[in-house]
Structure 1
Amino acid sequence: MSRPRTRTGALAAALVAVLAGALTGCGASEPVEAPATVAPAGEGRTQYPLVLDNCGQQVVVDAPPQRVASLDQGSTEILLSLGLADRVVGTASWTDPVLPELAEAGASVPRLADNAPTYEVLLGADPDFVTASFGRHFAEGGVTTRERLAETGVDSYLSPTDCEGSTSINGGGTRTRPVTVEAVYQEVHELAEVFDVADRGDALVARLQQRAAAATEGMDLSGTTVAFWFADTSTPYIAGGFGAPALLTAPTGLQNAFADRPEDWNATGWETVVAAQPDVLVLGDLQRDRFSGDRLDDKTAFLAADPLTSTMDAVQHQRYIALHGAEMNPSIRFVDGLEKVRAWYDEHRDEL
């Protein structure tokens, strides 16, 4: 990608164009006070210009970005874990509170929107780099396209967990193979390289690997079937076999009852879920109220009261594993999910 060198002028022109007709559309998003630009700070390992092949697009980074906007919780928590809070000028699309160990750093980051921001709100944060976990933000009808950002001199990055070659899964593609933990680690390493903090990326991946190994040591849930319910009581979103829950099934031996479905999340009828009779239900405990049944208490109450779901053996014996939404998405929080599966396993192993 060839980047324009007159970013300030191009960005100002873009702001004038979009704000002229979009002032009323910004009301649902919180106002953003842009923090001051910080001076470059890095380890000197990255050689610029850095060229990345990112989901089929060439990204050329001339220097460490100073004003990054992150469109998803998963991407933001990586940036915070890399010690880059002073460079994050905006975040969006959250299902849960920030990780406790990142709360202090995250408190200084402006929230552009609870869900996806508008294009004008994103530009109002004046980013020089934009990251996303899910390609829907960069698709037509999303926040903006990567090409449009490039026209204003703004580089962009999409998580490898959302890509197969040049295809964005959440941008309209379909997986042909399960997402892997290596894609999560690739995202950490590449973002660390972009910001010239490669040593921090190495250390973060090492910590994640150690925690994942400890969580899964000696655990064998082979033969135990599971269904992952993210949200919605009327038409539940149930995980297919290729999305982020594969990061939890592959190392534990759990068998996804819907492993043959390639979609990350399927809008499924309860009749189908009940017919599958999974041994265990993984329930999303989303700390938001976007869909009916986002929160754990709403899910368990529904399962117990509904005439159909209440017949399930997993419901009658309350074989539930509660995970935050962020732990059911492809992010560094997969390891928190593994640790919760381990805690459940240690408590219930004699019943399996």
Structure 2
Amino acid sequence: MGSHAARAFRPLIVVAATVVALTVLAGCGASEPVPVATTGAGGEGRTVYPVTLENCGVSVTIDAAPERTVSLDQDSTEILLSLGLQDRMAGTASWTDPVLPSLADANAAVPRLADNAPTYEVLMGADPDFVTASFGRHFKDGGVVTRDRLTSTGIPSYLSPTDCDQGKSINGGTGARTTPLTVDVLYQEIRELATIFDVQSRGDALIADLQRRAAAATDGMDLTGRTVAFWFADTKTPYIGGGRGSAQLLASMTGMTNVFADRSEDWPAVSWESFAAAQPTVLVVGDLQRDRFPGDRLDDKMAFLTSDPLTRTIPAVQSGAIVALHGAELNPSIRFVDGLEKIRSWWDRQQGRG
């Protein structure tokens, strides 16, 4: 592994007297603003290093734009690629689906370290100077590497604020949210990464595009009165969307009522008996291009739903009101807008417009 002398990290310092605070939207899954602090007085819209931010209970200070980033999740990877940072990336991992077609060429230039989570040795073999993740499970004991261990080797890390609640990781520890996820927290992630890499104008453009597409997808769509269940994976014990995570975000933005809105976990496992008893009139199901759980793929899900004596009684199955989304569209990511657009296309067809 190469020298870390030039790595863009140093221990937490007391920020100098002149501080420019870039206020970002609702942080760490809660309502308090989280400042990104920079020293000095740079030009408008430019990062002045060192930059320090509070990231899910960890203070991170970066001395220069990272040059060898490893992203441990597809959601984080697609943000970085959308910001045009493929030349700053040393590796990716944990893929549920093919990369967005618009990012395929950029993604081809970045080594894939693993289809799922890499080992610590594989991660460090990529000689990273910055490590990002969408889910805290990678940063906990038994995961890829703890953030403390990265800090001790001079490598800063970043966890998506969509996986953070009250300063702690959800998927890496607490397992549940106290505050519902909002799209502003995803935009916060884009802004923070754009600041870290000094590409703020690209971040602003990406957010503006997502906002435009989300507004167009939901304009005039009225699914009020429809009840919905989100089935991510597993035919044995289904993982369904709870009432405070990314699935609920899609339900709220489309006007549907999540039948499992009382669950605070992002993707709790439930019984098929409780699933069928909830009687959803719409099913949003994950079409995952992987084989981690039974029924990851759409064809397997559909075969199960239409053949099992219990699931055949679900109103959404009987009426065929089923919307298939990729896993990345169900996770908190820039693909939420693709999910909205697919729900809109399904609704348009229901109205005889498709």
Q: TM-score range by the shorter chain?
A: 0.7 to 0.9
- Which residue of the partner structure matches residue 238 of structure 1? 240
The equivalent residue for 1:189 is 191
Q: 1:236 and 1:123 mapped to 2: Cα distance?
A: 35
The alignment yields a C-alpha RMSD, in angstroms, of 1.7
The total of aligned residue pairs comes to 315
Is residue 329 of structure 2 the alignment partner of residue 327 of structure 1? yes
* Greater mean deviation of Cα atoms: 297-306 or 238-247: 238-247
Q: For 1:10-44, what per-residue CA distance to the aligned partner results, in whole angstroms no more than 9, with x for missing partners?
A: 9xxxxxxxxxxxxxxxxxxxxxxxxxxxxxxx997
Partner residue, 1:114: 115
Tell me the TM-score normalized by structure 2. 0.86
Q: Where do 1:101-140 residues align within 5 Å?
A: 101-140=102-141
Cα distance in 2, alignment partners of residues 275 and 164 from structure 1: 31
SS of corresponding position for 2:268: strand
Residue equivalent to 1:159? 160
Alpha-carbon separation, structure 2, partners of 1:100 and 1:350: 29
Letter of the 1:68 partner, please give it: T
Q: Which amino acid aligns with 2:4?
A: R
Distance 1:293 1:203 in 2: 37
Q: Partner residue of 1:50?
A: 51
User: Deviations along 1:297-345, whole A, 9 cap, x unmatched?
Assistant: 1100100111111122211211100000000000000000000011111
1:24 aligned residue: none
Q: Secondary structure at the match of 1:137?
A: helix
Give ranges in structure 2 of 5+ residues lacking alignment: 8-42
SS at match of 1:111: coil
Question: Counterpart of 1:213?
Answer: 215
Shift in Å, 1:165? 2.6
**Secondary structure of the residue that 2:60 maps to in structure 1?**
strand
Q: 2:307 aligns with which of 301, 305, 308?
A: 305
Q: Does the 8 A contact of 2:45 with 2:201 survive in 1?
A: no
Contact residue 248 and residue 261 of structure 2 kept, 8 A: no
Q: In the alignment, residue 111 of structure 1 is paired with which amino acid? A: R
Please identify runs of 4+ aligned residues in structure 1 that moved more than 3 A.
none
The answer as to whether partners of 2:239 and 2:268 remain within 8 angstroms in 1 is yes
Corresponding residue SS for 1:251: helix
Distance in 1 (alpha carbons) for counterparts of 2:213 and 2:65: 30
* 1:284-303 aligned within 5 A: 284-303=286-305
Q: For the residues of structure 2 that align with 1:164 and 1:309, how far apart are their CA atoms?
A: 34
* Distance (Å, rounded) in 2 between the aligned partners of 1:246 and 1:100: 26
Residue 182 (structure 1) shift: 0.4
Q: CA separation in 1, counterparts of 2:72 and 2:223?
A: 35
Q: Which residue of 2 aligns with 1:59?
A: 60
Distance 1:218 1:192 in 2: 32
Letter in 2 for 1:337: G
- What CA distance in whole angstroms lies between the structure 1 residues aligned with 2:298 and 2:351? 23
Could you tell me which amino acid in structure 1 is paired with residue 84 of structure 2?
G
Whether contact under 8 Å (1:43, 1:198) holds in the other structure is no
- Paired letter, 2:234: D
- Partners of 2:272 and 2:187 lie apart in 1 by 35
Counterpart in 2 of 1:7? Answer: 4
2:224 aligns with 222
The letter for the 2-side match of 1:192 is: A
Q: Distance in 2 between matches of 1:116 and 1:255?
A: 34
Q: Distance in 2 between matches of 1:281 and 1:250?
A: 15
**Aligned-pair distance for 1:287?**
0.8
Q: Partner residue of 2:24? A: none
How far apart are residue 7 of structure 1 and its match?
Answer: 2.4
Tell me the TM-score normalized by structure 1: 0.87
Amino acid at match of 1:175: R
Three-state SS of the structure 1 residue aligned to 2:316 is helix
Amino acid at match of 2:139: F
The aligned counterpart of 2:79 is 78
Provide the C-alpha distance between the structure 1 equivalents of 2:343 and 2:219, rounded to a whole number of angstroms. Answer: 12
- The aligned counterpart of 1:148 is 149
* Cα distance in structure 2, aligned partners of 1:220 and 1:316: 22
1:307 and 1:108 map into 2 onto residues whose CA distance is: 48
1:252 matched to which residue of 2? 254
2:139–2:147 contact (8 Å) kept in structure 1: yes
Alignment-derived partner of residue 100 in structure 2: 99
In structure 2, relative to structure 1, the CA distance for the partners of 1:93 and 1:43 (3 Å cut) is farther
Match of 2:253, SS state, is coil
The answer to whether the Cα contact below 8 Å between 1:180 and 1:246 also exists between their aligned partners in 2 is no
Deviations 1:128-159 (A, max 9, x none): 00000001111111111101001111000000
